[in-house]
Chains A and B, each alone.
Chain A
Amino acid sequence: MSIDIKYFASLRDRLGRAEDRLDAATELTVAEVWAALWLDRPLPPNTLTAVNMEYAELTQRVRDGDEVAFFPPVTGG
């Protein structure tokens, strides 16, 4: 199962990349996708998560070919 992951705004800067691809043997939730990629790094609080550009809870299941996105809040004006 292959999942595309996208990071936005300051999260992209802090992680040092804009996207990832994860090949998983079993079905994962959004939270498990993060944990699989960033073992020792908890998901920052207040991060908006989306699956296929639709708002998703951390417990939502991710399917093969899905795109999971992580958005931090942005302040500039």
Chain B
Amino acid sequence: MIRSTGTPPPLSSAEQLRYARHLSLPEIGLDGQHKLQQASVLVIGAGGLGTPALLYLAAAGVGRLGIIDPDCVELSNLQRQILYPTAACGSAKVEAARDRLLALNPHLQIDIYPEAFALANSADLIAAYDLIIEGSDQFAAKYLVNDACVLAGKPYIGASIRAFSGMLAVYAAPNGPCYRCLFPEMPAPETVPSCAQAGVLGTVPGLFGVLQAHEALKLILGIGEPLIGALLKIDLLTMRFQRLRLPRDPGCPLCGESPTIRTLTETSFVCATPTQRPTDTLPWLSVAASQQRPALRWVDIRTTAEFAAGHVPEAIHAPLDQIEAWAAQVEPHEELLLYCQQGGRTVQAYHRLQGKLQGRVSLLRGGYEAWLQGVSAQTSATS
């Protein structure tokens, strides 16, 4: 994708040593290393997928890396987001990532954007890079990245993971399919199960993030067969790798022969972390406010496994998938406080209970993790 003309400038002695294992490969060599140096990659989402991808792109010497993510590092990220040290908790992810990547390879330019990838910035960001790695955990962002890349004619490497499996493909490449060729419309929120807190083994996003970086390097170097027109599906419990052939859909609403989507639109998604959505009108209570109301009955709506791993003392367990049946037998006077892991699933529970427990249900902002943070702050203050 980068066209070099003539002989590339020589590498410094330090660079020759750093990239020695690239330089000795006939498929890379000095020409290839120069292509990497001249290339720019935007990584959208510095999380489970984005962080391992960034480490390998930086190590490989990709000259300019862009990182966009609005979040701060949290303790619950560290099980899989291996770029961050414990001491980075509370710092902006993009800043912690930049520091770590420059420590790994000081020859790079790192651009950071501590904001969400959104309608307002999407076109400019995509235009500024050769290639995009999509590592978001939100459908709205996945569709926005896809649409922006197709409209700009920029290929991107997309991946999605869950528990012990995932899928990976290069989308929006010339003659290749886009994400809407597979899944034309964004799923309705109620059809997506507990997106806020799907569990995952840390190595699963690690592997997929590394594969995304790997495909990016292949595309930059122009080597091998990139995953264009094919979807790689991996079940990491059984180690089954499957390649699904995936031609471009002529009827695709975005990249097909008579597209109906011609401009970018933002589609919000109710499953965004509620703590980042202060504008909704749901009856949220903070941990501190909840603790001022001793009459509140705390209700844990997470799975049996999550409840067994730890819960608020005295909380009763009413898993989300049985919440309606449970609500039918609640005493008429009881005031309830629902909590899940981070708050996302309580929104679903609230909608499912509407009309049943009118005016008697509150939702714990930030969920069980917010409660845990309160406990750990008290413990460190008293110890």
Interface on A for B, CB 8 Å cutoff?
Answer: 8-10, 13-14, 44-46, 48, 50, 53-55, 69, 71-77
Contact = CB atoms under 8 A, between A and B. Distances in A.
Interface string B170-192: 00000000000011110110011
Nearest to B166: A74
9 contacts: A9-B165, A10-B193, A53-B242, A75-B139, A76-B162, A76-B195, A76-B198, A77-B45, A77-B159
A13 B165 CA distance: 13
Given A74-B160, A75-B138, A77-B161, 9 more contacts: A9-B162, A46-B183, A50-B244, A55-B246, A73-B139, A73-B187, A75-B137, A76-B205, A77-B50
A44 B191 contact: yes
A55 B340 CA distance: 37
B244 A77 contact: no
A45 B183 CA distance: 9
Contacts of A13: 193
A55 B45 CA distance: 29
Given A45-B185, A73-B139, A76-B161, A55 B48 contact: no
B185 A74 contact: no
A53 B193 contact: no
B365 interface: no
Interface string B73-96: 000000000000000000000000
B36 interface: no
Contacts of B246: 55
Given A44-B191, A77-B159, A54 B244 contact: yes
A53 to B, nearest CB: 5
B142 A75 contact: yes
Q: Which of B159, B183, B192 has the most CB of A within 10 A?
A: B183
A73 B160 CA distance: 8
Interface residues on B, range: 35 or more
Contacts of A8: 165, 233
Interface string B32-76: 000000000000010111100000000000000000000000000
A8 B235 CA distance: 10
B200 A76 contact: yes
B247 A14 contact: no
Contacts of B188: 45
Contacts of B242: 53
B49 to A, nearest CB: 5
Q: Which of A45, A54, A69, A73 has the most CB of B within 10 A?
A: A73
A44 B135 CA distance: 25
A33 to B, nearest CB: 17
A74 B162 contact: yes
Contacts of B200: 76
B167 interface: yes
B193 A48 contact: no
A11 B337 CA distance: 30
A43 to B, nearest CB: 12
**5 closest pairs, A vs B, by CB?**
A77-B137, A74-B160, A73-B183, A54-B245, A76-B161
B375 to A, nearest CB: 27
B243 interface: yes
Q: Which of A14, A50, A55, A76 has the most CB of B within 10 A?
A: A76
A48 B134 CA distance: 20
A6 B188 CA distance: 23
Contact of B167 (A10, A44, A46, A74): A74
A50 to B, nearest CB: 5
A41 to B, nearest CB: 13
Interface string B198-215: 101000010000000000
